[in-house]
Amino acid sequence: MKLLEIRGLEIHYVTDDGIFKAVNGVDLVIEEGEAVGLVGETGAGKTTTALGILRLVPSPPGKIVGGEIFFAGENLLKKSMKAMRKIRGAEISMIFQDPMTALNPTIRVGEQIAEVIKQHMNCSKTEALSRAIDMLSTVGIQPERAMEYPHQFSGGMKQRVVIAIALACQPKLLIADEPTTALDVTIQAQVLDMIHDLQQKLHTSMLLITHDLGVVAETCDKVAIMYAGEIMEYGTLDQVYNDTKHPYTKGLFASIPSLDKKAGRLQPIQGMMPNPSDLPSGCVFHPRCPRASEICKVKAASMSEVSGGHFVRCILCENGDMEGK
Amino acid sequence: MFMKRVMVCLSLLLCVAILFPVCGYGADAKKIVLPKKDRDTLIFGAENEPSGLDMINQTTQGSITISTPLFERLIKCNDVTGTFEPLLATEWHWVNDTTLALTLRDDVYFHNGEKLTAEDVKYTIERLKDGTATSSLYSSFDGPNSKVIDATHIEIAFKQPCAPALALLSSPGSNVVCKSYVEKVGNDVFARNPIGTGPFKFVRWDSGDSIYYERNDKYWGKTSEYKNLTMRIIADVGARMIAVEAGDVDITVTLLQSLTRRIKNGEAPGLDYYAIPSVYFFWLAMSDEFEPFRNLKVRQAIAHAIDTEQVVFASYGPNGARLSSIVPEATWGYKKAEPYEYNPELSKKLLAEAGYPNGFDVDFVTSEATNAADAGEAVSAMLSQVGIRAQQKKFTASNWQTMVLNGTAPMSFGGMAVSTGDISQGVAHLRSTAPQVTYKWHDPHVDTLLDRGIQEMNPEKRYEIYAELQDYVLENCLDIPLLDVYFSFACRDYIQGFVPHSRQFLDFPSITFAK
Amino acid sequence: MIRYILKRILMLIPVLFLVLFIVFTINYFSPGDPVSSIVGAEATMEQRARVRESLGLNDSFIVRFGRYVLNVATKLDLGTDYITKRPVRDEIFERLPTTLSLTFLAIALASVVGITLGIISARFQYSIFDYMSTLFSLIASSMPAFWIGLMLLMVFALKFRMLPSSGFNSPRHWILPVATIAFNVLAIVTRNTRSSMLEVIRQDYITTARAKGLGEVKVIAQHALKNALIPVFTVIGVQIGRTLGNAVVVETVFSIPGLGSLMVTAVKMSNFEVVQGCIIIIALSFCVINLIVDLLYAFLDPRIKGQYMKAGKRTIAKAAKSGGSANG
């Protein structure tokens, strides 16, 4: 059962300096209980997409200009704000990137968790608080610390609190926007494990946004590669990692330094991500693509299925000109 | 961007909207005038808060007006004819050159119910020597040797013949006080909670705000129709003008030139203008400690360099007039004189003859009060035209007084109110032993005339002495007369019976409200 | 926390002493002479000398300063007004409530209105409302207080005769002077609230709050406001100080018998004791207000509260250590 289906989502930021096309026709599907990774460089539009799902895109500059987002069969873009608020925190939750700033410094931690519980579940304040304390123990924080303030916690513990808030109402979909990027490596592993465990236990679907292909490999079932506001490649782990089709994805894998191979220099992808207000014509990746041909400069590709459930947005791949690995 | 254009337009609109009250203000002369709501209270807008109501210590401008409803003197001076008329004393005569016998009214009571007797009058005379405003003016009065004959007869003794005695007894310093009350509470409490014999009695003093009086129903003379009299203190002249225009006060004093002109032109409906030449005047003082000023030609040069009409215009405008002698017209002993001719060319010639062909520098010190400062600028400009570089320096009132006192101001304005109405007070500053170094002159001839004038009991002879003094001072340019200030008043048009007084003794009981 | 408050209160004493010293020195060396104001022009030299002696103006600096400080410290006696002969303390406390109530009413009004406007401006940034309030702030903060006061007087007291032009007796009298002061302060509070709110609204924890499904009002009121108000309170605290100083101007225009007008008259007459007394009281008020504002921070921001508590604990720890080492 498709829990979340995004079709042709377009989000623009309208400013005095021009229109920034942050998300340009994104298609994505997440099944129930499934964890999908959304991978891309900084500036690819991943966070914007995530915010778009919850309709939290900052509205003076940002605007959702097209597409549909179906959640449990209903188009979120057509819902009223009141209906959206019922969904936020209860059906769909989000974990943000920087735990240091994600919590309100002037409110006690326990109360911040209790807040989301009280908002969505019909219970009294004391009940909400006790449930919040339970959540805290679930994420491994002693209940006594519920009355403390965020500045009294370390980064890792703060992130656990954020996770507690996100999962307190047992949402169907959890969107995790680079949840471990701001943490150091040892804590990273802990937090990822915890997210993974909870997700499995509660049968929650997850959209994990990250730039780290390794993290995706450990926690996700499917992965989507995003570049300049579009999904370039999408499929299961096995398909994308072992049968990489898109030149961009290949470039990504190639740029990861390897422990066993001896390498003189790193191999980044040539060039820079284009400015969203001034996107190239035709295929968005063509200026940096080692295999770009004339047709790539003029004609934009659409997502085509190269094998069961494995989609690529590349004209050359469509025509079967690219080989895997 | 569109938004920015909208913002610019809106901001222009807002600016214009703000200017409306300012521009549109003067335009409507035909407004409806509101009638007086509370006809039982007269509110007077005063310009200064006195430090106390005991007039022997009061020198603040306007304090006479504020204290006048409460107290009375033995004699009053008719403002029109200049003759002395009975007030608390019914008749008087000189027994000899140093004894004045007076008969008092028999029906006067103080506000605390005690009857006025000659004991109170003797006590009043005795305390004059201690008052900061009265000790030198009344120095000839001999309180201890004054005799109480009976309850209504007293003989006041003098240490030497005192020609201005009657004038002094008609001045606020000699307000009759209640001996038993003052002795009981002391001078300081008396000053804040006064008791007198006047047509109003003191009710309450809200410091900085208002002083409240109430009609004295046991007064021996004519009382007011209205019951309450409030002296509202509004020190800022702009605010005071607004108060009278808005009707928050019924009468106010010392008007701005702008309001005076507007009332006269009919642009201020609901207000009437009253003015009277007063005993308050200004002159230009030159210190004889400053070398160039010792030279007669220099002083004459200065006299001819100043266009007095312009100085009046610059400072008081319609509320002032050129002074035509060394004392104002309202003073006894005044003799009209020819003003100095305004002739800058003559000035320069005289300066050259005096040995200053290129002029000289001098510090010209004035108070920072608006009128003095404006007049000072005018004088300074005129003097610089003939080469006298008079650097105008402005100071606060008390600093300026100090500088004039110790002579650190070589040139300044002299200003005083001849509260006694007698010329002796107005020329006392010329004496070589006077306190202010800047004002005085070391001239034996002047001293002689001053001594004779103050002791000559025959009025005709006395007048001659002072006439001679005025001529001498003007010929030698010892003082350069500048202007006579009018006491200016604005009254709401429902006020009737208001008569301005040249010495501030306003007759409050005669004021009525129009029906 | 109590320790922190006590520490702050103790610190007031050296501050006030310093203020007193500076003011006393300035008065002592300034050229004015109160005697002239007391005796008037016609007094003789002997009289002036007598008055000088009786006021103690002939004693040396140290003697006069020492006497003054002693009086203040032991009897809370701020001296005597040279001219009215009344105790300075009485005169000041007659007028202090007026000035304080004028200040606080104005600040309260300006804060409430300003914070509201600032919040709305920030929430609806770039809307017409935002532009209008920005424009209004700019204009209102550029207009000097006496000009605003006179303009208000002319419009409301004169043209429309709606409100009285002077005095401070009834609530009707309060409207214009309070509005005059509030104007300037309002502008600054609005601007600061707006910019502080804009900053706070962009913070991640606001997005977190929205992502929890909370309504906009709750997000702003409970999450954003607490954080946004902290710098605004600093500004308001400063404005209180500024307003106390500006009281002079407004009190003059509206003839309000407050501390400001007392002080101005005293300065003009070289009435030093009154000037000193007024300045001490104003300095004291200002320090107390600052303390209250600082305590308000602790109430709003738990991080700051923690610092205050630590500061208290540190002194205890130090004291314990030094006590220990003295014994050991």
DSSP string computed for B338-394: PPPP--HHHHHHHHHHHT-TT-EEEEEEEESSHHHHHHHHHHHHHHHHTTEEEEEEE
Mean pLDDT for chain A overall: 86
How close C83 gets to chain B, by Cα (Å)?
6
> Which amino acid is present at C127?
S
Residues C215 and C120 reside in one and the same domain: yes
How close A149 gets to chain C, by Cα (Å)?
7
Residues C40 and C156 reside in one and the same domain: no
Q: Is residue C42 part of a domain?
A: yes
Q: Which residue has the higher pLDDT, A29 or B2?
A: A29
Residue B62 has a CB neighbour count (10 Å cut-off) of 19
For the domain spanning A1-72+174-256, the CATH number is 3.40.50.300
Report pLDDT for B27.
Answer: 40
Chains that touch C (3 or more CB pairs under 8 A): A, B
Report pLDDT for B7.
Answer: 65
Q: Is the pLDDT of residue A311 over 70?
A: yes
Contacts of C303 in chain A (CB under 8 A): 105, 149, 151
* pLDDT band, residue B106 (cuts 50/70/90): very high
Task: Please name every residue paired with B218 in a beta bridge, in sequence order, or none if there are none.
Answer: none
Chain B CA closest to residue C266: B398
| Separation between Cα atoms, residue B332 and residue B415, nearest integer Å | 18
| Separation between Cα atoms, residue A245 and residue A313, nearest integer Å | 9
* Average pLDDT for C96-101: 88
Q: Do C255 and B234 touch (CB under 8 A)?
A: yes
C166 vs B21, B136, B239: nearest CB: B239
Sheet with A18-31, strands from edge to edge, namely: A18-31, A2-15, A62-71, A74-75
Closest by Cα among B398, B404, B344, B394 to B374: B394
Domain count, chain C: 2
Q: Do C213 and A151 touch (CB under 8 A)?
A: no
Chains that touch A (3 or more CB pairs under 8 A): C
C165 vs B133, B136, B242: nearest CB: B242
Q: Are B147 and B158 in contact (CB under 8 A)?
A: no
Q: Is residue C319 part of a domain?
A: no
Q: Retrieve residue B434's tokens.
A: 């006077």
Q: Is residue C19 part of a domain?
A: yes
Strands (E), B218-270: 228-233, 251-253
Q: Does A119 touch chain C (CB under 8 A)?
A: yes
Determine which of C27, C37, C124 to mutate to test the interface with B (most B C-beta atoms within 10 Å).
C37
Q: Are A179 and A46 in contact (CB under 8 A)?
A: no
Report pLDDT for A181.
Answer: 82
Q: Retrieve residue B389's tokens.
A: 């570089």
Q: Retrieve residue C29's tokens.
A: 């060396």
Contacts of B10 in chain C (CB under 8 A): 131-132, 135
Contacts of C47 in chain B (CB under 8 A): 132, 135-136
Q: Does A54 touch chain C (CB under 8 A)?
A: yes
- pLDDT for C239-296, tens place per residue? 888 888 778 888 888 888 888 888 888 888 888 889 888 888 888 888 888 888 888 8
| Separation between Cα atoms, residue C1 and residue B306, nearest integer Å | 72
* Average pLDDT for A99-103: 89
The residue count for chain B = 515
Report pLDDT for C111.
Answer: 93
Q: Do B210 and C84 touch (CB under 8 A)?
A: no
Report pLDDT for A225.
Answer: 92
Counting residues of chain B whose pLDDT is more than 70, the rounded percentage is 93
Report pLDDT for A325.
Answer: 37
Report pLDDT for B31.
Answer: 46
* pLDDT band, residue A289 (cuts 50/70/90): confident
Determine which of B242, B394, B430 to mutate to test the interface with C (most C C-beta atoms within 10 Å).
B242
Report pLDDT for C313.
Answer: 61
Contacts of B235 in chain C (CB under 8 A): 252, 255, 261, 265
Counting residues of chain A whose pLDDT is more than 70, the rounded percentage is 97
* Average pLDDT for B326-351: 91
| Separation between Cα atoms, residue A119 and residue C78, nearest integer Å | 59
Q: How far is CA B212 from the centre of its chain?
A: 23
List the Cα angle A287/A288/A290 in 5-degree steps: 110
Residue C27 domain boundaries? 2-75
Least confident range of A239-253, B114-128, B489-503: A239-253
Q: Is the pLDDT of residue B15 over 80?
A: no
| Separation between Cα atoms, residue B421 and residue B167, nearest integer Å | 7
Q: Is residue C223 part of a domain?
A: yes
Q: Is residue C59 part of a domain?
A: yes
Residues C158 and C254 reside in one and the same domain: yes
Q: Is residue C215 part of a domain?
A: yes
Last residue of a domain, one of C45, C75, C105: C75
Q: Is the pLDDT of residue B450 over 60?
A: yes
Q: Do C208 and A120 touch (CB under 8 A)?
A: no
- Phi/psi at B217 (5° precision): -70, -15
Q: How far is CA B360 from the centre of its chain?
A: 34
Please state whether the predicted TM-score (pTM) of the whole model is above 0.90: no
* Average pLDDT for C154-160: 81
A106 vs C209, C214, C301: nearest CB: C301
DSSP state letters, B100-130: EEEEE-SS-B-TTSPBP-HHHHHHHHHGGGG
Contacts of C300 in chain A (CB under 8 A): 106
Tally B–C CB contacts below 8 A. 157
Q: Is the pLDDT of residue B3 over 80?
A: no
Report pLDDT for B24.
Answer: 44
Q: Which residue has the higher pLDDT, B27 or A71?
A: A71
C268 vs B7, B209, B398: nearest CB: B398
What sign for the dihedral angle of Cα C123, C126, C131, C134? positive
Q: Do C213 and A119 touch (CB under 8 A)?
A: yes
CA torsion, points C290, C292, C293, C296, in degrees to nearest 10? 160
Q: Is residue C88 part of a domain?
A: no
A115 vs C212, C227, C302: nearest CB: C212
B59 vs C41, C47, C262: nearest CB: C41
Q: Do B236 and C95 touch (CB under 8 A)?
A: no
Task: Please name every residue paired with A24 in a beta bridge, in sequence order, or none if there are none.
Answer: A10
Q: Is the pLDDT of residue A53 over 70?
A: yes
Report pLDDT for B32.
Answer: 45
Q: Does C57 touch chain A (CB under 8 A)?
A: no
| Separation between Cα atoms, residue B225 and residue B215, nearest integer Å | 9
* Average pLDDT for B156-185: 94
- pLDDT for A148-202, tens place per residue? 999 999 888 899 899 999 988 889 999 999 888 888 888 888 888 888 888 888 8
Terminal alpha carbon distance of chain C: 30
- pLDDT for A63-97, tens place per residue? 888 899 999 888 988 888 899 899 898 899 999 88
Closest by Cα among B90, B74, B94 to B155: B94
Task: Report ipTM (2 d.p.).
Answer: 0.83
* Average pLDDT for B359-363: 90
Report pLDDT for A60.
Answer: 76
Residues C51 and C99 reside in one and the same domain: no
Contacts of B418 in chain C (CB under 8 A): none
Contacts of C94 in chain B (CB under 8 A): 207-208
Q: Is residue C320 part of a domain?
A: no
* pLDDT band, residue A280 (cuts 50/70/90): confident
Q: Retrieve residue A109's tokens.
A: 């931690």
Residues C156 and C278 reside in one and the same domain: yes
* pLDDT band, residue B68 (cuts 50/70/90): very high
Q: Is the pLDDT of residue C318 over 60?
A: no
Q: Does C223 touch chain A (CB under 8 A)?
A: yes
Q: Is the pLDDT of residue B148 over 90?
A: yes
Closest by Cα among C39, C46, C43 to B429: C43
Report pLDDT for B227.
Answer: 94
Contacts of A54 in chain C (CB under 8 A): 211
Q: Is the pLDDT of residue C85 over 90?
A: no
* pLDDT band, residue C152 (cuts 50/70/90): confident
Contacts of A48 in chain C (CB under 8 A): none
* Average pLDDT for C102-130: 89
Q: Is the pLDDT of residue C32 over 80?
A: no
How close B287 gets to chain C, by Cα (Å)?
16
Query: Among the ranges A29-43, B158-172, C59-73, C167-181, which has the highest mean pLDDT value?
Result: B158-172
Q: Show me where the domains of chain A are located.
A: 1-72+174-256, 96-171
Q: Is the pLDDT of residue B28 over 50?
A: no
Least confident range of A165-169, B215-219, B394-398: B394-398
Contacts of A94 in chain C (CB under 8 A): 208, 211
How close B211 gets to chain C, by Cα (Å)?
12
Q: Which residue has the higher pLDDT, A294 or B11?
A: A294
Report pLDDT for A286.
Answer: 84
Contacts of B397 in chain C (CB under 8 A): 37, 268-269
Residues C176 and C98 reside in one and the same domain: yes
Residue A66 has a CB neighbour count (10 Å cut-off) of 15
| Separation between Cα atoms, residue B214 and residue B199, nearest integer Å | 9
Q: Retrieve residue A261's tokens.
A: 């191979």
Determine which of C85, C125, C176 to mutate to test the interface with B (most B C-beta atoms within 10 Å).
C85
Q: Is the pLDDT of residue B377 over 90?
A: yes
* pLDDT band, residue B12 (cuts 50/70/90): low
Residues C64 and C144 reside in one and the same domain: no
Contacts of B238 in chain C (CB under 8 A): 150, 253
Task: Please name every residue paired with B332 in a beta bridge, in sequence order, or none if there are none.
Answer: B422
| Separation between Cα atoms, residue A67 and residue A76, nearest integer Å | 11
* Average pLDDT for C80-86: 83
| Separation between Cα atoms, residue A225 and residue A313, nearest integer Å | 10
Report pLDDT for B51.
Answer: 86
Mean pLDDT for chain B overall: 89
Q: Do A107 and C204 touch (CB under 8 A)?
A: no
Q: Is the pLDDT of residue A251 over 70?
A: yes
